[in-house]
Amino acid sequence: MKTKRFGFAGVLAAFALAVSTLVAPSANAATEIVVWADESRGPNLAKVIAAKGDWVSGYTVKVVTFSSFDALKDAFDKATDASGPDIVVGGNDWVPTGAKSGKLAPITLTAAVKARFNPTQFVDLTYKGKLYGVPVDINNVAMIYNTKLVSSAPKTFGEMVSNYKALKASKGLKAGLCIAGGGMSWGAHSVFSALGADAYQFNSRGGIVYGRAFNATTFGKNVRTFLMDGKKSNGFFPATDTGCKDNFLAGTVPYAVIGNWEWADYVAKGFTMNLMPVPGVAEGTYGKMFGSVSGALLTTFAAKHGVESGAKSLLTNFFASTDGQVRYQALEKRPPAEKGAQADSSVSAAQRGFGSAASLAGIPQIGAFLNSNKGGANYWDSAPAYWTAVLIDGKDAVKEASKLASIWRANTDGGKGDL
Amino acid sequence: MSYLIRGKIALFIKVIVVTLFVSILLLLAQSAFAQKEYVIATFLLIAVLLLSLTYLTKISVPLKFFIPGILLLTAFVVGPILYTVAMSGFNYKTGNIISKEEAIVQIKVRGIEPAPSGLTFDIKLGTVDGKPAILASDINTPEYFISTLEERIPLVASSLTLNEYGVAVEAPNFTPLTDSEFSTADKLFTGTRFTFDDQYFIALEGFEAGVVSQQILEFVPEADHFKNLVTGAIYTDNGRGNYALADDKSAILEPGWRAPIWFENYSNIVTDSRVRGPLIRVFIWTVVFALLTVLTTFALGLLLALALNKPIRGRRIYRSILVLPYAMPSVMSILIWGGMFNTEFGAINALLGTEIAWFSDPNFARVAVILVNLWLGFPYFYLISSGSLQAIPSELMEAAAIDGANPRQIFRKITLPLLLQILSPLLIASFAFNFNNFNLIYLLTGGGPRNELDGEIAGATDILISYTYKIAFGTGTQDLGLASAISLIIFLLVASISLYSLRKSKVLETFA
């Protein structure tokens, strides 16, 4: 009995001692700025930031790398006050949800810093009139063509279709043009646009012109002309992106829309970066491509960690500076967003190729529209269904385009208020 | 009974092992505490207390065997269920994630607007008479001044030291921060409002820039509302996790917070046609999918087990080959099958010489799902059927054969009933597993095909769990509260069906 009582007393005393150690948990150093990034950007950011340690006087920067972009998003969604980053390098489409949910904090840039970027790039990172980060790199697609199959750059969409039909049997082609990067909505937008379904157009002041968006009739008729044989697909443009990259690399598809994050795979297979926008129906016109930016986004955790001003300084001194972007993109190999870095001699042919394709036909991806469910449906998720409905199920190209156009208009009408 | 280790050595090892576990749990508790996860921290502390009491005292011998299981059950089954129940009563969705206190802080921050002039200054941080101050430069005008909390002191360029860009770096009576002092600058300067004029103040945007700003939204704690200082509009708590205008409920301030809405998520399942419509169709397909999967995998597994139950040449090789799909990670198998079913480039259409739109046609997509699950699932039933066949006494079959029963009658009247009696719990478990077979649907078809153009939310192969995932984590608004409500209904459904089946098969009575 006595032993039992001593046992109880011992356990309770040890427990009380243990609990007392929990009362004042150690806090992170208030001079450390924590940056979260994915498996590609993270290691490169860590190297660049470490190489020049004084981006923000008196502060150290710790880069935390996640195994994938999805893992990063997942972690950021679940981040808490204690665990969350001060800056996260993420997609522009994180801005509306992050801002709405109170995970991202607004930042005001000086005119001098703003002047370093194309104004439309800020549209991507803006929610309800407030900016939530700075543009870091450009994510865009461009069309690459296989010079072993076609000798020169096509001038029109029709020329590509003709080439495909002429070579189909002799070269064993499985398709003419396919989407290898960005999926059948974002990546395929250049095809939507080339055939007449523009998301939005911009006026000379950078404002959005909504009235001329998504001409369903013109687009649907062009789909019938260029992609169909009666009610069936003519085989030129597959309805899904599955297998596109492999088939292009294998030489069974002459034209492919590829993402700038994977150009090295194509170079490794011996392809030169002969990149261009998807040609339009008329010569000299091109399909518009979503040229979204990834942003270094300021989080609300920075203020809770007591490093808000330090994090803002890191955003302007490193992420939004020519020096920072040149150093970073020398490793990351994406087209830089900052104008000075774009003009730098260290930019590679591929970065330049994607950059020039974007300058010819790039438009910003606006998350407020694309991710909105305003009107009951989501353009982002619905666009792939158009290709399936028409090219596989044989539904009417114009009628289905009208449905997609309605979703687009409902999304943009609802999303206007979020800009 | 003999023990390998006993006495003081056993006691020493026990103390070491318990201490190790308790230390790990305390470390986790500290981490949870630091992250303000008080419920988790409390649970871990209770676990520490219970483990210590159980293993370091003689309070109860049976508890020594049960306590790990009880703690794990609480942590990974009871806890998540209770959390899901709690969340289903909140408007827990995009825009309503944080607490009300946090939301108020953030609305105040967002309530600071730059002046319409867009005026910004290059600044140097420092002190004047030991108090925080900024040395501001507008290199375009050019204009220079020192600003403190109380006043703005204009300066002439001739009295300043300027850098190569024309930004003032030193001024009379102004002591710039040294590099080492910057480590405390965030604490001293962030949020400070430096004087500009009567209407506006200068807010820091980093350590190098100041923006002329004004406070647009003001929180009035006594009335629990926000007031727009320019328009006079009042935003009150709408009881649903947002401050909203009284005469325009859609005009809300963001972010919002998690607010209790009690049973509204459940009523939405019934009243919201966008949720209700697909739910019934998805439920029917879920049941059909789970039943067909169990039937097909069991049938094929049993068939192969019966075939290989007899001594045939190369039986070992066949057995090894048949187990291969089970040995391969299902994620890889599913992705490979997904590629093989591709309409344009897939091996299946190429082999058959067809152009079947496997993942675009609802019926073909359902067939593909069942076929792939058959591939993934039959080795399991082959293995357990093989084992069970060995357990059936051969005398029963021999006696039946002597009585004149043919092989088909022996199978129908003896083998199958006995097998079903043995395998019933596993068949029911397989049904419950496939009822929630998220991986297969998500990786193979993504729940599709669905006609988004006609506003369909659920796809033809969506099962309840994948449909719930779409609601909770789809693009656009993520509605975790509604997803929690649907999850609970799924839980109740699976639990009811499983319990009913177990009772009907009298398995529980057998165990009892």
CATH classification at residue B131: 2.40.430
Chain A contact for B338, CB < 8 A? yes
Cβ-Cβ contacts under 8 Å, B187 against chain A = 30, 306
Task: Give residue A268's domain range.
Answer: 141-290+367-418
Cβ distance of A247 and B345 shorter than 8 Å: yes
Q: What is the Cα A129 distance to its own chain's centre?
A: 21
DSSP A334-393: SPBSSHHHHTSTT--HHHHHHHHHHHHHEE---HHHHT--TTSS-HHHHHHHHHIIIIIT
Confidence of residue A5 (pLDDT cuts 50, 70, 90): low
CB contact under 8 A, B49 and A380: no
> Which of B31, B179, B190 faces A308 most closely, judged by CB atoms?
B190
Percent of chain B with pLDDT over 70: 97
Interchain CB distance below 8 Å, B48 and A22: no
Q: pLDDT (tens digit, 9 = 90+) per residue, A243-298?
A: 899 999 999 999 999 998 888 889 999 998 888 999 999 999 999 988 788 899 99
Chain B, residues 265-304, CB within 8 A of chain A, namely 274
pLDDT tens sequence across A340-369:
998 888 888 777 778 777 777 778 777 777
pLDDT digits (tens, 9 = 90+) for A212-230: 778 899 999 999 999 999 9
Q: Are A403 and A412 in contact (CB under 8 A)?
A: no
Report yes or no on B101 lying in a domain. no
Tell me whether residues B338 and A97 touch, CB distance under 8 A: no
What is d(CA A195, CA B277) in angstroms, rounded to the nearest whole number?
35
Same domain, B22 and B120: no
Co-location of B120 and B43 in the same domain:
no
B94-106 residue pLDDT tens: 899 999 999 999 9
Mutate which: A61, A92, A108, vs B, most B CBs within 10 A? A108
The shortest CB-CB distance from A110 to any of B120, B185, B344 is to B120
Decide if B459 is inside a domain.
Answer: yes
Q: What pLDDT does B3 receive?
A: 60
Looking at the fold, whether A322 and A392 belong to one and the same domain comes out as no
DSSP β-bridge partners for residue B214: B113
Which 3 state secondary structure label does DSSP give B98?
strand
Q: What average pLDDT does this structure show over A409-417? A: 83
Please tell me whether residues B65 and B166 are part of one structural domain.
Answer: no
Backbone angles phi, psi at A91, to 5 degrees: -75, 155
Do B12 and B131 share a domain, yes or no? no
Are the beta carbons of B122 and A110 separated by less than 8 Å? yes
User: Is the same domain home to A283 and A304?
Assistant: no
Number of domains in chain A: 2
Cβ contacts of A415 within 8 Å, gap of 6 or more: A366, A368, A369, A372, A374
Bond into B142 cis (ω within 30)? yes
Contact B35 A81 (CB under 8 A): yes
pTM equals 0.81
Both B77 and B121 in one domain: the answer is: no
**Most A CBs within 10 Å, among B181, B215, B344, B479, to test the A interface:** B344
pLDDT value at residue A25 = 45
The domain that holds B417 is classified in CATH as 1.10.3720.10
Residues B290 and B416 both lie in one domain: yes
One domain, residues A313 and A278: no
Cα distance between residue A228 and residue A239, in whole Å: 12
Instruction: Tell me, yes or no, whether B365 and B412 share the same domain.
Output: yes
pLDDT per position as a tens digit, B334-377? 999 999 998 877 899 999 998 888 988 899 999 999 999 999 99
Structural domain total, chain B:
3
Residue B105 falls within a domain, yes or no?
no
Q: Helical H runs in B211-329?
A: 264-271, 273-307, 315-327
Are both B385 and B449 inside the same structural domain?
yes
Q: What is the pLDDT of residues B129-150, one digit of tens each?
A: 999 999 999 988 899 999 999 9
Nearest of B39, B73, B69, B58 to residue A11 by alpha carbon: B58
Query: Which positions in chain A touch B206 (Cβ < 8 Å)?
Result: 309-310, 312-313, 315-317
Specify whether A263 is located in the same domain as A330. Answer: no
Q: Are residues B450 and B323 in the same domain?
A: yes
Hey, which residues 469-488 in chain B have their CB within 8 Å of chain A? 474-478
Residue B129 sits at φ, ψ, to 5 deg, of 55, 35
Instruction: Kindly give the residue spans of alpha helices, DSSP state H, lying in A305-338.
Output: 308-314, 322-332
Report chain A residues whose CB lies below 8 A from the CB of B207. 56-57, 309-310, 312-313
Could you tell me if A254 and A205 lie in one domain? yes
- Measured between beta carbons, which residues in chain B are less than 8 angstroms from residue A216? none
Of A174, A372, A377, the CB nearest to B455: A377
Report the residue from B49, B183, B209 with minimal CB separation from A15: B49
- Residue A319 forms part of a structural domain: yes
Instruction: Give the domain range for residue B195.
Output: 112-215
- Select from B110, B207, B343 the Cβ nearest to the Cβ of A106: B110
In chain A, what percentage of residues exceed pLDDT 90? 53
- Specify if A27 maps to a domain: no
Contact B342 A242 (CB under 8 A): yes
Which of A324, A342, A363 terminates a domain? The answer is: A363
CB contact under 8 A, B182 and A316: no
Check residue A123 and give its pLDDT. 83
A20, pLDDT greater than 50: yes
- The span from the CA of A417 to the CA of B18, in Å, is 59
* Highest mean pLDDT out of A5-9, B259-263, B390-394: B259-263
**CATH classification of the domain holding A403:** 3.40.190.10
Residues in B touching A404 (Cβ below 8 Å)? 453
Q: Which of B35, B203, B478 sits opposite A80 (nearest CB)?
A: B35
Residues A389 and A350 in one domain: no
**3-class secondary structure for B172-202?**
CCEEECCCHHHHHHHHHHCCCCEECCCCCEE
A32: closest chain B residue by CA: B183
Question: Is pLDDT of A403 > 70?
Answer: yes
The answer to the question of residue B224 being in a domain is no
CA distances from residue A242 to A178, A194, A381, B359, B440 in whole angstroms, order as listed? 9, 21, 17, 12, 18
Q: Are residues B186 and A14, on separate chains, in Cβ contact within 8 Å?
A: no
Q: Cβ A313–B339 below 8 Å, yes or no?
A: no
Together in a domain, B394 and B334: yes
Domain final residue, candidates A342, A363, A384: A363
Q: If you count residue pairs, one on A and one on B, with CB atoms under 8 Å apart, how many are there?
A: 216
Same domain, B306 and B450: yes
Residue the block writes with tokens 């394709």: A357
Instruction: Tell if the CB–CB gap between A175 and B344 is shorter than 8 Å.
Output: yes
Picking from B430, B440, B419, the residue whose alpha carbon sits closest to that of residue B309 is B419
Residues A13 and A397: their CA atoms lie apart, in Å, by 77
Burial letters for A63-73: b for 16+ Cβ neighbours within 10 Å, e otherwise?
bbbbeebeebb
Q: Is A315 exposed, middle or buried (0-12, 13-18, 19+ CB in 10 A)?
A: buried
CB A275 within 8 A of CB A210: no
Q: Is A27 helix (H, G, I), strand (E, B) or coil?
A: coil
**pLDDT value at B310 more than 90:** no
CB-nearest to B452 from A80, A303, A377 is: A377
Confidence at residue B510, expressed as pLDDT on a 0 to 100 scale: 57
On whether both B284 and B428 belong to a single domain, the answer is: yes
- Which residues on B lie below 8 Å from A403 (Cβ)? 453-454
Q: Is B208's CB within 8 Å of A313's CB?
A: yes
Would you give the DSSP letter of residue B257? B
Q: Is B116 in the A-facing interface, judged by CB distances under 8 Å?
A: no
What pLDDT score does B462 carry? 95
Do the Cβ atoms of A100 and B33 come within 8 Å? no
Please tell me whether residues A148 and A226 are part of one structural domain: yes
Structure confidence by residue, pLDDT tens digits, B266-304? 998 888 877 788 888 999 999 999 999 999 999 999 999
Answer yes or no: do A249 and A328 share one domain: no
Q: What is chain A's percent helix, strand, coil content, to nearest 5? A: 45, 15, 40
Listed in sequence order, the residues at least 6 apart from B357 whose beta carbon sits closer than 8 Å to its beta carbon are: A388, A392, A393, B343, B364
Q: Give the best residue of B15, B21, B453 to mutate against chain A (max A CB count within 10 A).
A: B453
The residue from A363, A388, A406 where one domain ends is A363
Is A382 a member of any domain?
yes
Quick check: is B98 in a domain? no
Same domain assignment for residues A101 and A180:
no
pLDDT at B475: 62
Average pLDDT in the A195-211 region?
A: 79
Residue whose structure tokens are 């806090």? A27
ipTM comes to 0.79
Report d(CA B507, CA B8) in Å as an integer: 45
Contacts of A225 (CB under 8 A, 6+ apart): none
If you average pLDDT over every residue of chain B, what do you get? 90
CA distance to partner chain A, nearest, from residue B52 (Å): 6
Question: How far is the C-alpha of A191 from the C-alpha of A177, rounded, in Å?
Answer: 9
Q: Which of the four pLDDT bands, split at 50, 70 and 90, describes residue A4?
A: low
Interface test with A, best of B123, B253, B345 (most A CBs within 10 A): B345
* Residue B232 domain flag: no
Q: Tell me which chain B residue has its CA closest to the CA of residue A407.
A: B453
In a domain, B104, yes or no: no
Q: A219 and A240 share a domain?
A: yes
- Are residues A261 and A399 both part of a single domain? yes
Residues A277, A307 within the same domain: no
Whether B147 is covered by a domain: the verdict is yes
